[in-house]
Structure 1
Amino acid sequence: MKTSETTFPITEVREQFPALKRTYQGKPVAYFDGPGGSQVVKRAITAIAGYMENGGANLHGTFPSSWETEEIIAEAKKAVGDFLGVQINEVAFGANMTTLTIAIANALGKQFEAGDEIVVTEMDHRANVDPWLLMAKDRGLTVRWIKVDTESLTLDLSDLEETINKKTKLVAIGLASNAVGTIVDLNPVVERAKRVGALVAADAVHAAPHIPIDRDRQGIDILLCSAYKFFGPHVGIAAIKEDVFKKLEPYKLVPAPSYYPDKLETGTQNHEGIAGIRPAIEFFASFGGGDTRRERILSGLEKIEGYENNLAARLREGLAALDKVTLFEADHSVPKTPTIAFQVAGIAPEEVCRIMAEQHSIFVASGHFYASTLADRLDINKSGGWIRAGLAPYNTFEEVERFIKAVSEL
């Protein structure tokens, strides 16, 4: 779908993000660091502040602020259900995706035995790798890796039959690369996992702001994402299939609930942050049409995806035309998020980012972004990693041209 500034309500969108009013070095800031954390939509900020101003409380009390907190959490889980295509009793909140994954891995590991196998990939953010590796080490499991094809920047599935075999209990895979933007073809991996009876744990942190997600239709058992990547607060989200959730035995305090999803939500949650989740999700729905919120979310995401992809196409085109710029991306046949990784010959990535901020008021980040295995395979860690430009629906074509011009002046 092609969506330009003439058909996408960019002015209306930008009015909803207070951070866009910021200036630095006398110029308006252009945010290209969305993959590291998006700016927060005004309605989420209002909800967070409103909760705190109205009097917060812990759960299970016999007074209004406690009831209201429980209702806010319930409404947030309904919104997540519509966003991810899951039941509300399958949704749990936590500090962040990493913390939740560590807790889930420790709980799930109790069901495995020495000699069982798990599978991780070389493309993933380490938050969907290391928790499983640590659990495997503790339980005496064998770890197998789905390798990355360093030429195509896609997963190499040529050895899938051997990698995912009858001993495999879990496959951990990301929906999209947070470093180079490749959207992963899940189907062959999920089909093979299901054929051998393995669970699928999917990292949707980078994918959630950009592409529609339907956990059950995609064959995922454990799905994780974070609201701060899709215009909301710093709250981690886990959506675990009911039959899997029932069997989980997370570490918890003795008096804490033993029923799901509460048993995964250890300690007092970030109630004010949770208050901002529903407004963040409804930002997507505000662009869409349909009879249900789920329909409006999917329709809104389609419009956003079209607009972002147009921006990304222009940014890729502009950077590719510069002699000293090297892009790290899959070819045109591979779908990608609007995330562009590159290097500039002769200038360290961190220095590029410093110049972009100080001279052009463009905020963009460098490093390996915890996709450190992929960075090692591409041999870019020794040169400072990538410069990663990520686009969001509040970015404009003018900002993209400004970005290209700033890089060309290097």
Structure 2
Amino acid sequence: MHRYVPMSLLRLFSPLVTPLVNAAPKSRLERAANVWDLREAAKLRTHRMCFDYLDGGADDEIALARSRSAYSDYHLHYHVLAGNSPETLDLRTKIFNRDVSLPFFMCPTAGHRMWHTEGELASASVAAEKNMLFSLSSLATTSIADVAKHHPASLPKCFQLYLFKDRGLNRDLLAAAREAGYDAVALTADLTWFGNRERDKRNGFSVPPDYSVKQIVEAIKRPAWTWDYLTNPTYTYANIANDLPAEAMSYYINRQFAPDFTWQEAEWIASEWGGQLALKGVVRADDAVKALDHGFSTIWISNHGGRQLETAPPPISVLQEIRDAVGDDVEVIMDGGVMRGTDIAKALALGANSVGIGKAYLYGLAAGGSRGVRRAVDMLDDELRRAMGLLGCRTTKELRERGRELVRHK
């Protein structure tokens, strides 16, 4: 990747300049009261093109907005005088048959180093610190093996696989995940066609940024992000072809997705992996039942963050129907639109075994690396504990068992 200033010269001044350019982002992190504040901090630190890639959705962003607003359609009918205290609360649960301390986790998302040089290692380290599940994208900018070093075998890990045309690539990725001790694979089935993400078109999105006048002006406006970018090695899609820069990979990857993928190919992946396998991107009860018949052990309800099919249903709105269709013994994961601990509480109460967060922790990453990710997790943890305390539930198991008594559609 060609740069205007030699890397050696930039690194010479890095100890002097870095504290100055990071002072404002650090202050914003400290003032943040919730995930929405982290979003604002991320917007102020991150190149507009990269922030909009994170923040946006498909078409008119109706699915994105509804995924968030749908939680407000459910009321929390709490009990009083339940005798709860912080010491009585226990948020432990199991995800993919592994014990974790929190019933929510960081969803697999591509290109973390686009937002902060710490990238996936920031998120993986926080997940290890909090005894959480960590899930890694096929299109991560950190390798499967490197993440495993920061998120040890004693903690559960999930690898997310896209539907690639090249069976050899699929096989190699599964083998790498197996060798690195990943517990489960999530097959993403809702990205066989790319969503129409119009913010990216308006911004002239490229990975990494090109040197157009518009991109340079936006880079000048965001000195902390720009300094971060200029003083660190060019990132790659580390699990696909780590010898090529990300911009050279984009054409290759676009050609690799398989729009004609069927249940038979999914069944081949289930056979090839041979372990716990989630189907990610489910919004229909009949597809959930069919997945169980084709080798999947976990149903992952998701509309891809509102970034694929416009006006797709909010995941929370189909959760009960899918839970009823697959029964109580099947693991059900849900993600989509989570910005508050009460969102997590509602999803658990309506039938999810665990809840994925995506944009929420990425806002933290973009705002301040590992410190920002930790802030996002701590905020949601605190809000979830408060919700459970007020609901009169001491454990996540109790919240799920009594959920339909406590959460009602308005």
TM-score by length of 1: 0.26
Structure with the higher fraction of residues in helix conformation: 2
Structure with the higher fraction of residues in strand conformation: 1
Q: 1 or 2 for the larger relative contact order (CA 8 Å, sep ≥6)?
A: 2
